[in-house]
Structure 1
Amino acid sequence: MLNWYKKSVVGLALVSAAMLSAEAHAKTLVKFASAFAAPELVEHQAIQAFKEYVELKSNGEMEVRLFAQSLGGDREMFEQVMQGSLEMSFPADGAIAGFYKPVQVLSVPYAIPTSPVAWEFFKTDFARQLTDDMREKTGVRTLALSESGFRSMSNNVRTIKTPADMQGLKMRTMESPVFMELMRSLGATPTPLPATEIVISLKQGIVDGQENPIPTIANSGIGEVQKFVSADDHVLGVQFLVVNDQFWQGLTDNERQILQEASHLLVNYSQANKLAAIDDSIAKLRDMGTEVYINTLAEKEMFRDAAQGPVKAYIESQVGEELVAAYLDAVEIAKARVYGD
């Protein structure tokens, strides 16, 4: 009887030791959700590169588990990162606005003129201070900012050349009051919907059109259900690569370094390849039978005159004139870095 007891104790000790050893060598799991499901999307490819880099550099000690369009829209995914049920996501700025109002400042229409200016803006003190403040207010840390492209209008009613062509259109927007105000300023009726519902809503005629970067329109199924695309470049889309800050603080220095390196890989891959793919995306849309109209500088000025004042005033009412002025100053700094004084 005593021998049986001794054997049992030894057996339990061995099992416990094995369990502790397994826990000590358990992988660090990073659940990463995004709205980018189609393999043709540059963002999807960039996120896949992120996963591969992290798992390679950690020698398999870190696992990145990807969820594409399965955990809700950007708004829902950002909220899950806030709550800690999800470690990472890659939401658009418009979807973050419901949780952190100051991010709306990035949506002043026609403020940032080109991609190189956007990339320099992301390096400014203003951008760093904005993301630091968001972390303090929400518990969500930004590892990197990424240009998702200048946004264009699409619809099934008519070619959009001037603001007059927007009159009466039912337009899907991000779940952002700023984008809703933008549509109202142009005479359209805004309908906020998550990205996961765009294509079906266009198919069913719930909305006439939507707005997104041209590569997204071409590669996400939107172009297949839209007759007209107009490249008016009204707002620069910004993606936030975010992580739950409590999770981040619990990582080792080496794990944090690997995730930070992979974050730079993700955004650089996404930005460079998206910009290089514009011509191919336009050609793809035209092959689908979608008309693509490139708005002239004079027409863009008409959109700017119609939309910038009302939208800027709305943003100022939400976040204050001082923040908006600081943002526009930072854009000027970025322009000077790219083009000189």
Structure 2
Amino acid sequence: MTLTSVMRAALLSSVVFTVGTGAAAAAEWRGWNIHPEGYPNSDALEQFAQEVTEKTDGRVEATVYHNAVLGAQPDAIEQTRNGALDFANFNMGPMGPIVPATNVLSLPFLFDDLEHMHTVMDGEIGQLFADALEEKGLVALSWFDSGARSFYNTERPIRTPADMKGLKVRVMNNDLYVDMVDALGGNATPMAYGEVYQSLKTGVIDGAENNYPSFDTSNHYEVVPYYSVTQHLIIPECLCIAKASWQALSEQDREIVREAAIRAAETQRELWADSSAASRERVEEAGVEVNKVKDKSAFQEAMTPVYDDFIDAHPELESLVSAIRGTK
């Protein structure tokens, strides 16, 4: 059995093959988006909706609803699976309860950088994830960026794992991220996002981790002098179509929708890169010292116990993890 077939079997065996059914809107498509208008993802989705509407000559009329007005992400995922919504932009982080294999994408230091993630998700491995999602009622046509999270703190630049020793670092409430910081010698501190600024300012915590735009717009740069580009967490997002809505399309319209989704991903990635560059420029102008970790091998080696625990819990996904890390 080939590696691809092994991984495919692992992915598909990690889901329950029960796809919700429901009425699919064959002509008037409603699209879900968590972000506000003007956000890179929002602009890309608007482009997608406009292109689909124009190129199908109105056979599909697609409209995007921003700011999660159609429900929170878990609800929107279920609505898209059962055909109550027709398309959406979903982050893979919360997808684990539905497609457990996508938990692989939350492993720290899985991808070397954004380009590595693009190579993986745009290729054969990304198609394996798409196949697994389709078994659960979601047709993933392209992959968006959600940024690359890096460490920032009040004490010193992070250049090697040793620089993390003893730092109290805020993380999202996820055991993988707690274990990540602990494995690097830091003290992981799960905390609500809204509490981070004051906690950094008063010394309750020494640091946190996030992407450039969030570091900028949260104003954390005002109280943190060091931002270290570790890019330890890079979680892709999908532009997904409800399976029922997809199956209702003609072959001609499927091709139109697929091509529009790919172009939307290209636009989103460009806009996200521009936004990240602008945020980096703003925080550097404000006096933040930025350093890039060019060789992540020591950090990746430090993740061995984290990966061992993950594989112990999900042995069927070991070949998938190895294939992603081995893709260049």
**TM range, normalised to the smaller chain?**
0.7 to 0.9
Q: Which has the larger radius of gyration?
A: 1
Summarize deviations over 1:31-86 as a string: whole Å, max 9, x none: 2223x2262x4223222222222232233441313222445654443344334443
How far has the Cα of 1:180 moved from its partner? 4.0
Gaps of 5+ in 1: 1-25, 336-341
Does the Cα contact within 8 Å between 2:92 and 2:238 map onto a contact in 1?
yes
Whether 2:143 is the aligned partner of 1:145: answer yes
Measured in 2, the distance between the counterparts of 1:324 and 1:31 equals 35
CA 1:297 to 1:224, structure 2 compared with 1: closer, same or farther past 3 Å?
closer
Whether 2:325 is the aligned partner of 1:326: answer no
How far has the Cα of 1:166 moved from its partner? 6.4
Per the alignment, in what secondary structure is the counterpart of residue 232 of structure 1? strand
Measured in 2, the distance between the counterparts of 1:292 and 1:44 equals 31
Summarize deviations over 1:74-119 as a string: whole Å, max 9, x none: 4443344334443322222222123222112223433432433332
Q: Where in structure 2 are the equivalents of 1:174-213 lying within 5 Å?
A: 176-186=174-184, 187-191=186-190, 198=193, 200-203=194-197, 205=199, 210-213=208-211
Does the Cα contact within 8 Å between 1:214 and 1:282 map onto a contact in 2?
yes
Whether 2:290 is the aligned partner of 1:296: answer no
How far has the Cα of 1:256 moved from its partner? 2.9
The aligned residue for residue 128 of structure 2 is 129
Whether 2:102 is the aligned partner of 1:107: answer no
TM-score where L is the length of structure 2: 0.74
Per the alignment, in what secondary structure is the counterpart of residue 233 of structure 1? strand
Per the alignment, in what secondary structure is the counterpart of residue 43 of structure 2? helix
The aligned residue for residue 282 of structure 2 is 284
Measured in 1, the distance between the counterparts of 2:209 and 2:234 equals 11
Measured in 2, the distance between the counterparts of 1:152 and 1:305 equals 17
Measured in 2, the distance between the counterparts of 1:268 and 1:48 equals 13
Summarize deviations over 1:20-39 as a string: whole Å, max 9, x none: xxxxxx941222223x2262
CA 1:109 to 1:246, structure 2 compared with 1: closer, same or farther past 3 Å?
same
1:317 to 300, 309, 312: 312
Does the Cα contact within 8 Å between 2:117 and 2:236 map onto a contact in 1?
no
Measured in 2, the distance between the counterparts of 1:293 and 1:103 equals 31
Q: Where in structure 2 are the equivalents of 1:84-95 lying within 5 Å?
A: 84-95=83-94
1:42 to 40, 50, 57: 40
1:266 to 250, 253, 264: 264
Does the Cα contact within 8 Å between 2:111 and 2:325 map onto a contact in 1?
yes
Measured in 2, the distance between the counterparts of 1:37 and 1:113 equals 29
CA 1:182 to 1:62, structure 2 compared with 1: closer, same or farther past 3 Å?
same
Measured in 2, the distance between the counterparts of 1:154 and 1:118 equals 22
Does the Cα contact within 8 Å between 1:98 and 1:176 map onto a contact in 2?
no
Indicate the RMSD between aligned Cα atoms, in angstroms. 3.4
Summarize deviations over 1:233-289 as a string: whole Å, max 9, x none: 1132211222222232233444433322221011111223433554332112234x3
Does the Cα contact within 8 Å between 1:46 and 1:267 map onto a contact in 2?
yes
Does the Cα contact within 8 Å between 1:213 and 1:237 map onto a contact in 2?
no
| Seq. identity, % | 19
The amino acid of 1:42's aligned partner reads: P
Does the Cα contact within 8 Å between 1:42 and 1:270 map onto a contact in 2?
yes
Measured in 1, the distance between the counterparts of 2:128 and 2:109 equals 22
Measured in 2, the distance between the counterparts of 1:215 and 1:257 equals 34
Measured in 2, the distance between the counterparts of 1:211 and 1:223 equals 10
The amino acid of 1:328's aligned partner reads: S
The aligned residue for residue 32 of structure 1 is 32
Runs of 4+ in 1 over 6 A off after TM superposition: none
CA 1:159 to 1:62, structure 2 compared with 1: closer, same or farther past 3 Å?
farther
CA 1:210 to 1:50, structure 2 compared with 1: closer, same or farther past 3 Å?
farther
TM-score where L is the length of structure 1: 0.72
CA 1:110 to 1:170, structure 2 compared with 1: closer, same or farther past 3 Å?
closer
Measured in 2, the distance between the counterparts of 1:297 and 1:123 equals 24
Does the Cα contact within 8 Å between 1:82 and 1:244 map onto a contact in 2?
yes
Per the alignment, in what secondary structure is the counterpart of residue 31 of structure 1? strand
How far has the Cα of 1:123 moved from its partner? 3.4
Whether 2:72 is the aligned partner of 1:77: answer no
Measured in 1, the distance between the counterparts of 2:165 and 2:75 equals 30
CA 1:27 to 1:124, structure 2 compared with 1: closer, same or farther past 3 Å?
closer
Measured in 2, the distance between the counterparts of 1:116 and 1:317 equals 29
Does the Cα contact within 8 Å between 1:148 and 1:239 map onto a contact in 2?
yes
Measured in 2, the distance between the counterparts of 1:98 and 1:166 equals 33
CA 1:222 to 1:29, structure 2 compared with 1: closer, same or farther past 3 Å?
farther
The amino acid of 1:266's aligned partner reads: A
